[in-house]
Structure 1
Amino acid sequence: MTDPAAAPAPPRRIVLVAGPSGSGKGVMTQRSGLPLVPLDEFYRDGDDEALPQRFGIVDWDDPASWNVGAALEALTALAHDGRADIPEYSISRSRRTGTRRLEVDEERVIVAEGIFAAELIAPLRAAGLLADALVVDRPAPLVFSLRLARDLSQSRKPPLTLVRRGWGLARDQRGDVARWRAAGMRCVGLREGTAHLRALADTARAEARAQSPARSVGVPEAAPGPASGGTGPAVLTIAAVCFLREGPSGLELFAVRKRGTDAFMQVGGKLEPGEDAREAAVREVIEELDVVLEEEGLELLGEFEAPAANEAETIVRASVFLAPSDSLPRDVEVFAELEEGRWFPLGADDAPGVQLAPLMTDHIVPRLRSLLG
């Protein structure tokens, strides 16, 4: 019999990020903390006679100015081996100046960002390596200003060339975003995109831990819990939903308390057989609040593990989602096994006289504060 521990790990997956030059694609990725492959590094050298022309200069916004084959080869190596040689390209000199070795260690999600990211959707999907495809969509005047300031500070091209190119890109921006969307990419803002990348990373890490024969989540773990005769804690797989609103002193987070218990937690519960986390989240919100959400409207906040609030010797393994703003009516009521619902100020350090579930205090509130400032 094959030793499960010796089975090869599944390949890492790639998130493609596109958007107008200067829209903040790199900033978003840096904030997520994930390994980054800047696709601009795969431009062709400026003396290549086959380069396309526009405005009397090389059209660096045409995919023909870019080496899609080399980019795909590097991303495939990173996904399977965790390392690859990435070109170092000088925008100001319009040529490759060197090579660097990129190693992604234990990370299971890699971001590849650039204006040509959509060119990689089909081959990465076919190879089973595509995690998601996002477009950073921000107002054209803002993007123009940010791009010009960046390019001037880095002396990328002569100032007049930068201005002329910038106006052309601003005029094209709406059409470019529409083209990226048509290619299968989803529009996000800077903050939303950062949160989504972090959530994808958390999910991938949780999956990797689940597949590992030896894991640690802050307490000793045994695969069979007490219910099956084991000595380690039981594990409950749940889905939970966060609701936010603007309160008198800032953002507030909704939490509920079950009948006969003391701890407040997010709306949610255990997954039923054959049910995925999003389906469970929607079902639980209907049962507990009589509110209907759309699955596609739920944004994954993260995959977390924490001691259960109401079950001894038990760990909850939670997929936590953020609901769209104003999803709950101001006079929301609780149903089923719930006894009370309450809004808590997100910025408060504590809730005097109130017990909050470890999942809420250890993971959900810190993550929301980090994302929302």
Structure 2
Amino acid sequence: MEVEIANLRRELEKIDSTILELIVKRMEIVKKIGELKKKQGYLILDLVREEEVLMYWRALGVRYNLPIDALNDIVKSILKLSRSVQVKMQSNAAPKGGTICMVGYGAMATMLSQAFINEGYNVIITGRDAEKAREIAEKLGAASSGVEEALPQCDVAILALSIQAFLEGYVDKIVHLLKGKVVMDILSSKTAVFKHLEELSEHHGFSYVSTHPLFGPYTPPYGERVVLIPSKTGLVAIDYVQSLWKTIGVEPVVATLEEHEKAMAVVQVLTHFTLFAYRDAVERIAAELGIDVEKFATATYRDVHAIITRLEKIRGVVREISVQNPYSHYVKSFFIGLLREQASSDMKG
């Protein structure tokens, strides 16, 4: 029996090797497509094409009687890897080996630090709490030190801080250490701090580019996107910053402050508002009707609830986005009005 199992496992290893060889072959074709996209000025992310690929895999799953959920996970990972390969191909202005100071030690700071370390950057973890910085640095195999020692050593400073840290004046206390650096925040909503940081950059001589990673701390960054909002002082560094993010497989999207805030009101505020309202409605209606909806969960239902569960882990950030975005009230009111119209129309038959 043991010999038979061992033989079968060797067969599996051969199949696994073939799968990896085919993935490598797929990535070679992906690179060729990436080169053509670059020549034509196309964006890396093509949502229409990705949906076509997903539906193709679903059809194959039906043909071969394979579970759709498992296939979705596999093909989404392959698509993310493909995007990451194409993004990295376009990175040519940010030499690896530079020093990045990560000011902050939360989940997002940790994830980004790991991504830059993986690509050969020297990362120093720092912040107000030296002990927390040291703990994260030890887990990542990075260096840590106080801000007074760390910031003068870096080429890039990423302010991975909460909105409160900006509003309470912490950043104002350390800006004198940022002269000559490229400085980024990673806040989801920018209106409350952008103009102030732009003024600080002009006064203290650093290049400020506001950034917003369009992914959370529990999503691997490769194949994802980041919004870049250059200030007056950040225009000279925008090419460098774009290439910096590309080295970790993240596709940059350059926007103005107004474009970003309006887009995030729709993409984040409205999405979060809708999903949490939906979750509350499901719980209350299920209780009123006395049913266990989990017993009857469809694939779509499971997908939606997986997203909600992920959002629950960053509920504080979700609330911060809703409170700080200047268009938050508008999109919520607009959406509620549409729901009322839809409900009225449905009742009339």
Q: Same fold (TM over 0.5)?
A: no
Structure number with the higher strand fraction is 1
Higher relative contact order (CA 8 A, sep 6+): 1
